[in-house]
Structure 1
Amino acid sequence: MSAVPLPAPAAARPRLAPWLLRLHRPALYVWTALVLLTAAALLWLGGPLTDAAASAWDQYDACDWSAHCSYDQPAILRYKDVANYTTLAVTAVPFLVAAWAGAALFGREMESGTAQLTWTQGVTPTRWLTTRLALPAALITTGTSLLVLLHHLAWTAGEGRIDTAKPWYDTLTLHANGPTTVALALTGLAAGALAGLTLRRTLPALCVSLLAVACARGLADLAMPHLWPAVTRVTDLRQDPAGTGLTVDEGLVTATGRHIADPGCGSTLAPECRALYERLDATAFYTDYHPASHYWPLQLTTTLALLTLTALLTTIGYVTLRRSTGGRRRGAAV
C-alpha cells in the first residue's frame, strides 16, 4: 500500500521568490537595464532636448526667408529621433514581457520538467504558479509605470513647443503616454503563462504569446474609440471636414439628416464636388471624434478592458494547471 507523507514543515518548504529571482537573474538584469536606460533617455528628451528643439523652432518661425536665415536643425532632428526611439521602446515592453513569459518563465520550465520536479519538493502547483505570476507582475508594473509616466512628462514638455511632435492621438504616443501599456504588459505576462502551461514547449509558447499580445493590442485599438461617447462636429460643405482628435467616423449629412460615406472629393469650392454633393443631397460634413479632453476616459476604459482580459487569461491558466496536474496535493506520493 502506498504511503502519503505528511506535509513538509513550513520551515522546510522552498522559498520560491528568492529562488525565482536567482533562476531568472539574467532577465532581471536586462529588465533593469532596459528601464534605467529608457528612463534616462526620456529624462534627456523631456529636458535639454525639448528646450533645444523648442529654441530651434522659435528660430525657424522667426526666419525672414527673403534673406539668409539659420536655425539649429540638428536639435530638431535629435529630438525627433530620441522621441521616436523612446516611444518604440515603451510600446515594445508588452511584447518583450510576453516573449519572456511564454518562452523562459513557463515554456522552458514545463518542457524541461523543472516545474514538475519543483512540485515534488513540497510546493503545490498553485503556489508555484502564483509566485511566478505575482513577483514578475510587481516588477513589470513598477518598471512599466515609471516609463509611461516619464514618457507622458516628456511629451507634455514638448506639447505646443515642438512643431513636429506627435499629437496625443497618434497610435504609439497614445499608448506610450498612458496606463494601457502597463495593462497590456500584464496581459502579456498572463498570455505567456497560459501559452507555456498549455503548449509546454519554449518556441511555440513564445510565438503564441507574441501573437496573443498583438491581437490584444489590435483589439484595444479598435475598441478604444467606442468605449466612450464621441463628439460630433458638423461643418459647411464649403470647408473641409473638421475635428482634431481621435476620429471615430466621418462622412456627409444629407438634407434628411442621414449620415452617408464621404466620397473624398473635398469642399464645394471645386465645381465638380458641388455637383456631386447636389446629386447626393448632401448639406454638410460630419466628424465623430474624441477631443483631447477625452484622453483619460479613453485610457481608463481601455485599461479596464485589458485588465479584465488579463484576469480571464490568468483564471484559465489556473484551471489549465489544475487539470494537467490532477489537483495534486503538496508532497503526495504514489
Structure 2
Amino acid sequence: MTAAPTTLAVPVPARRAPRQVRWLLRLHRPTVLVWTAFVLLTGAALLWLGGPLTDASAAAWKAYNACDYSPRCAYDQDAILRYKDVYTYTNVAVLVAPFLVAAWAGGALTGREMESGTARLAWTQGVSPARWLASRLTVPALLVAASTGLLALLHRTAWTAADGRVDTAKPWYDYATFYANGTLPVALALAGLAVGALAGLLLRRSLAALAVSVVALGGLWAAVHTALPHLWPSVTRTSDLGTGPAGTGIPTAEGVVTAGGDRVAAPCGSDTTYGCRAELADLDAVGYWRDFHPAAHHWPLHLVASGALLLLAAVLVLVSFRLLRHRTGPTARPAGGERTRTP
C-alpha cells in the first residue's frame, strides 16, 4: 500500500514594491548615476543657452546689423559662435538620449540579467517572472519619461528665447530642432526602453541586445521621419512663376499649376533662367503650388507621432510579457503567498 502524496506548503517571502525598487536601483546604480549626471549637465547647458548665451548672441547680432557693412565694425563674434556651438551640442544630447535608453535597456536591464542568471535567481526568491519584468519596466519608464521630458522642455524654452533675436537660430522646421522641441524625445525614449527590454529577453546576450536595440530604434526613428509629413493634413499655397514656390514649414509636395488647373511636378525651381522658362512654357505653367506644414502644425505632428510611438511601445511590452510567460510557464500560487509542490 503506497502512501498518498502529500502537498507541502513552501512559504514564499513577500516582495513588496519598495523593496524591488531599492534592489533595482542598487543593481543599476552606476547607470543611474551616469544618467543623472547626463541630465543635469545637459539641463544646465540648456539653461545657460536660453539665458546668458542667448542675450549675448542677440546683442552681438544687433551690433553687427547696425554696422551697415562698416570695415571698422565692432561686435562680439565669439558670443555668436559660442551660442551656435552650445546649441548644436545640447540639441545632439537631447536627440541621443533615447538611444542611450535603448542601449541600456537591451544591454543591462534585461539582456545582462538574462545572460548572467540574475533574473532566474530573483524568480527563485519569490518574485514571479511577470512581477520581475513589471518592476524592470515601470520604474525606468517613470524616470526616463520625467528626465527626457525635462530636457525637451528646457530645449524648447532655450529655442524660444532666441527665436527672432538670434539671426542664426534654427527655424522651427529644421528637423533636428523640430524633433527636440516637443514630445517626441519622450516617446522615442519610452519606445527605446520597450525595444531594449524585448531584445534582451529574445537574445539573452547583453552586447547583442544592446546593438540590436540601438539599430531597431534607429529604424523606428527613420520610419517616423518618413511618415511624419503625412500624419496631419497639410496646407496648400500657390504663387506666381516669378516668385517661386511659397510656404515656409515642413514640405510634403510641390509642383506647378498649368493653365488648365492641373497640378504637376515642377521641372525646375523658378523661371529666372532661360532653360527653366522654356520647360515651364512647354507645360503651359502659370504658377507654383506647395503642400506644407506651417508652424501651427508643430504640436499636432508631435502629438500624433508620439501617440503612435507610445502605442507601439505598449504592444512591445505586451509581447515581452507573453514571451516571458511562454519561456517560464505559469506559476501557480494559492492565497496567502505560498507556492504548492508535490514531492
Unmatched segments (≥5 aa) in structure 1: none
Q: Quote the offset at 1:238 in angstroms.
A: 1.4
Please, which of 305, 321, 328 is the counterpart of residue 302 of structure 1? 305
Q: Quote the offset at 1:59 in angstroms.
A: 0.6
Q: Quote the offset at 1:333 in angstroms.
A: 5.7
Please, which of 25, 31, 35 is the counterpart of residue 29 of structure 2? 25
Deviations 1:137-191 (A, max 9, x none): 0110111111010000000000001111111111111111111110100000000
Please, which of 138, 141, 148 is the counterpart of residue 145 of structure 2? 141
1:234 is paired with a residue whose SS is strand
Q: Quote the offset at 1:329 in angstroms.
A: 3.8
Q: Quote the offset at 1:270 in angstroms.
A: 2.6
1:77 and 1:5 map into 2 onto residues whose CA distance is 71
Please, which of 319, 322, 325 is the counterpart of residue 322 of structure 1? 325
2:124 is paired with a residue whose SS is coil
* Contact 1:124/1:329 (8 A) holds in 2: no
Tell me if 1:269 matches 2:267.
no
Report the RMSD for the aligned CA atoms in angstroms: 1.8
* Contact 2:14/2:126 (8 A) holds in 1: no
Unmatched segments (≥5 aa) in structure 2: 334-338
2:245 and 2:285 map into 1 onto residues whose CA distance is 13
Cα distance change, pair 56–14 in 1 and its aligned pair in 2 (3 A): closer
What amino acid does structure 1 have at the position aligned with 2:320?
G
Please identify the structure whose Cα radius of gyration is greater.
2
* Contact 1:13/1:121 (8 A) holds in 2: no
Q: Quote the offset at 1:13 in angstroms.
A: 9.3
Deviations 1:278-323 (A, max 9, x none): 1122221111101111111111111111111111111111111111
- Structure 2 matches for 1:71-90, cutoff 5 A? 71-90=75-94
Name the counterpart of 1:45: 49
Size of the aligned set, in residue pairs, is: 333
1:119 is paired with a residue whose SS is helix
* Contact 2:60/2:77 (8 A) holds in 1: yes
2:173 is paired with a residue whose SS is coil
- Structure 2 matches for 1:43-122, cutoff 5 A? 43-122=47-126
- Structure 2 matches for 1:168-183, cutoff 5 A? 168-183=172-187
* Contact 2:13/2:125 (8 A) holds in 1: no
Q: Quote the offset at 1:210 in angstroms.
A: 0.5
1:14 and 1:225 map into 2 onto residues whose CA distance is 44
Name the counterpart of 2:336: none
What amino acid does structure 2 have at the position aligned with 1:73?
Q
2:18 and 2:7 map into 1 onto residues whose CA distance is 22
Name the counterpart of 1:260: 264
Cα distance change, pair 267–325 in 1 and its aligned pair in 2 (3 A): same
Q: Quote the offset at 1:254 in angstroms.
A: 2.2
- Structure 2 matches for 1:169-318, cutoff 5 A? 169-264=173-268, 266-318=269-321
* Contact 2:107/2:209 (8 A) holds in 1: yes
1:332 and 1:324 map into 2 onto residues whose CA distance is 20
* Contact 2:15/2:126 (8 A) holds in 1: no
Deviations 1:52-87 (A, max 9, x none): 000000011001324411211000000000000000
Q: Quote the offset at 1:256 in angstroms.
A: 3.0
Tell me if 1:153 matches 2:193.
no
2:17 and 2:238 map into 1 onto residues whose CA distance is 68
* Contact 2:267/2:276 (8 A) holds in 1: no
Cα distance change, pair 280–20 in 1 and its aligned pair in 2 (3 A): same
Please, which of 35, 38, 41 is the counterpart of residue 34 of structure 1? 38
Cα distance change, pair 110–329 in 1 and its aligned pair in 2 (3 A): farther
Is 125-134 or 112-121 further displaced after alignment? 112-121
1:283 is paired with a residue whose SS is strand
Q: Quote the offset at 1:252 in angstroms.
A: 1.6
Cα distance change, pair 118–256 in 1 and its aligned pair in 2 (3 A): same
Q: Quote the offset at 1:212 in angstroms.
A: 1.3
2:156 and 2:186 map into 1 onto residues whose CA distance is 13
Deviations 1:235-275 (A, max 9, x none): 111112111101111112223333222222x3223332221
Is 19-28 or 321-330 further displaced after alignment? 321-330
What amino acid does structure 1 have at the position aligned with 2:275?
E
